[in-house]
Amino acid sequence: MPLPLTAEDRLHLKTLQPQIAASPKGRGQLIPLLQMAQKALGYLPDEALSLVADHLAVTRSEVYGVASFYNQFRFNPPGKNPVKVCMGTACHVRGGEIILENFERKLEIREGETTEDREFSIERVACVGCCALAPVALVGETLHGHMAPSKVEGLVLRVRLEKEKAEREAAHS
């Protein structure tokens, strides 16, 4: 089941609409437009695919066919702290899969999914390009090298604690 659109998503869709309308037409624009939509929303909900399809006068299934072919496009909203586990060859040799499993177990979601509170999502990425630090995982924008299963819990906990702290401070002020 796709997660429902949030108010924020709707806002982004609204600003996206004129941007797409103002773009040039032509089949070659399909991928750039999908990239533009994903940049605005973080993912491609059905509504965004429709916008692109209508603009280029192609069917929605055709747009979905192209979008689902490429790894870049996602149909689930990313979490606020997207967890990206490197699955490059070097990370695999050093146990990247075990790291991925640990995140899946701790967050109780599978790779490609987002937690219900939209705090975390997990995805596997091909080489991040710092093979010397393998195995590697990104939480948000921060890269964590030399990952170990026991570090996973700490990372998740840290994000949750920081959030709680921010909420407490917000409540105080």
Give dist(CA 161, CA 151) in Å, integer: 15
Minimal CA–CA distance to 15: which of 44, 40, 51, 43?
A: 40
Residue that is written with structure tokens 């192609």 in the block: 58
Exactly one of 8, 46, 60, 129 binds other proteins (CB under 8 A); that residue is 129
> Per the structure block, which two tokens stand in for 53?
């399809």
CB distance 35 to 72 below 8 Å: yes
Q: Report if residue 149 touches other proteins, rule: CB under 8 A.
A: yes
Residues 154-173 interacting with other proteins (rule: CB under 8 A) = none
Binding mask 71-110 for other proteins (x = CB under 8 A): xxx-------------xxxx-xxxx--x--xx--xx----
Site residues, other proteins (CB under 8 A): 26-32, 34-35, 65-66, 69-73, 87-90, 92-95, 98, 101-102, 105-106, 125-134, 136, 143, 145, 148-150, 152-153
